[in-house]
Chains A and B, each alone.
Chain A
Amino acid sequence: MNTLIAITGLGVLCLLFEILNFRKAIVPITIVGLLAILGLTYSEFNAPASYYNNMIVVSKFSSSFSALFVVLTIFLVALSHDFYEDHQTKISDFIAIKIFMLAGAVAMVSFGNLAMFFLGIEILSISLYILAASKRTNIKSNEAGMKYFLMGSFASGIILFGICLIYGAMGTFDIAEITDWSRSAELPSWFPIGISLVTIGMLFKIAAVPFHFWAPDVYEGSPALTTATMSTLVKVVAMATLYKLLTAMNADLSDAFINIIIVISIASMTVGNIMALKQTNVKRMLAFSGISHAGFMLMALLSISNSAGNLLYYASAYSLAGIAAFAVILYVCKNKENEDIANFNGLGKNNPLMAAVLTGTLLSMAGIPIFAGFFAKMVLFNQSIQAGYLVVVIAAVINSIISVGYYFKLILAMFGKEPNEEVQKTPFVFYAVAVVAILLNIALGLFPSVVLNLLG
């Protein structure tokens, strides 16, 4: 709870800085504030509690995921200063919106009541609509914002409808009570319908197949930093929330539901990967790769009772790699019209360090050892085989092989082609964020127990 209050306070503070004309210091101060909030989250880890009639429930699950979100936000805020170079007058707005978005994210994983869950998702989404359309003069950015808004509000509507049905069945919004009731033998038939609708809405947010059509356009059109936010932070927030919802709603998912999850998971991996093979725009490519990673993360739902640690690990590995990748992409495409793969030609010569970092992130996403991505996939495979879903694992393995095809397209461009222009100066933060994120990723890969056992 303290975390949530502190985050909101920090967001308001950011807006006040604008009035006080403190713009220069806004990024460092926000980062320091977020670090303090990280400490606060840590202190809450071992102190589960519930607040305001169970509106907010702080648990190990919520505080560890919140910590991940805070870390990701720190990186995103750090990148903001140079990204919004030309919009210095609006920087406080952008940063404040990001902080409010973080508040929404934390609310989404620590809700104890469906009303709070819906509030969280709306706070997060509305911040994102604004960020997606934040390049006002760019028509693509406008399109992205509009599309995301339409799709997102549609999804929110479906979620709301689902919540209504659940309320109709249970007579309460409180998660703990719903959990108790859902174990009783007689459930009205609209209770599973409600769960399905909420799940569908969340799958929209995660961009799992077949609810993924908005993702590539929105990712491509949005400003690169917003794309980074969507593909890392928002994706793992939505995934964690879905996990929490499903664990709370019904401890034992029915077979039919499991089968649907299997189909969606395999379809997301496959469609995402096959579409990614054809892309020449890096942002679009990462959008499709994100869809396939969503498919991988959905595997965690198959053995829902004990996979929280694995999901946290996968989410951390994926999002840290994503942040590092986007730091490099932001650097490479800083003064470019688009994000074509051709822009990466010869990066290995021009800037070996950045090229090495991007290579590392791609290898992590492809699941090559010592990077955290390997253990992330391995523990998911392990747990799915244990639960008896060998088919999903085989599909996942085949997809991992396909994914190498497009991840390596970038590596080939960086190391196999000649550079087409002069070296440009890199702002220090891009280096710092890229290197720190990939080092964290490698550290997770070397000591996976640190995260895996958090929620054990």
Chain B
Amino acid sequence: MADAVIADMLSRAQFVIEATVRSPGHSTVADIPVNDHTVVFRVDRVLHSPAALARSAGLDVTVQLAAGSPVPAVGEQVTLFTAPVAYGDGIAVAEVGRAAPGTAAVSSTMEAGSGARRSRPRPALGVAQQLDDEQLRAHAAQADVVVIGRIVHLEKAGSPALREHDPDWWLATLAVDHRVKGPVAGTVQFAFPNSTDVRWAYVPKPKAGDAGLWLLHAAAGDAAKLADYSLLDADDVQRPDELDRLGLSGGGE
């Protein structure tokens, strides 16, 4: 199966498994609709999953197969690309794609568990890594300024934040060591939300001396009153050696 097909299925799936049919027409999760396309599979191997379900090999999972798709026979193994439906005593997912076992090559060992409180999807399929990289490159391409540099100054901006979901804007000044993209030289200032509120907690909070590859975006709304650029995405700070991965190594000075 072509990587493009795998990538398309993966873009719509959050849980990819190699699994063996155990019981068609049944469910391991109470109170969900069951029909002849509801099938209990035994998970043989987890190929792609957030940390919380990465250790589900050996467990049963209920899969609502795509309408009109063939129902594999008991004992048959398939690779399933699925999206979440319900979690209870078991897990119920909906099929968004299917492949023969071994079609989707595994590129790395799944990492999950104890250190994964802030889990994000961890690509284990080679094509998943490619998809992740493509998304990151697309995000980087949208940045208005890309520099390697370090934080030399921080200051609070604006009035006290008296709303639960207020961003609590701060201003950071970067000393630019290497300009990759954008009309900046010497230093560049950007606004970032320093709030620990649930809405902003996952946006990076620069600290004095932090060095990295910074993806800055033209500020909008209230942030535009404070600075030309803002940092609002968890992917806006990368390691300096990620230039190649972000497709940015060709330019700059």
Report whether chain A binds chain B. no
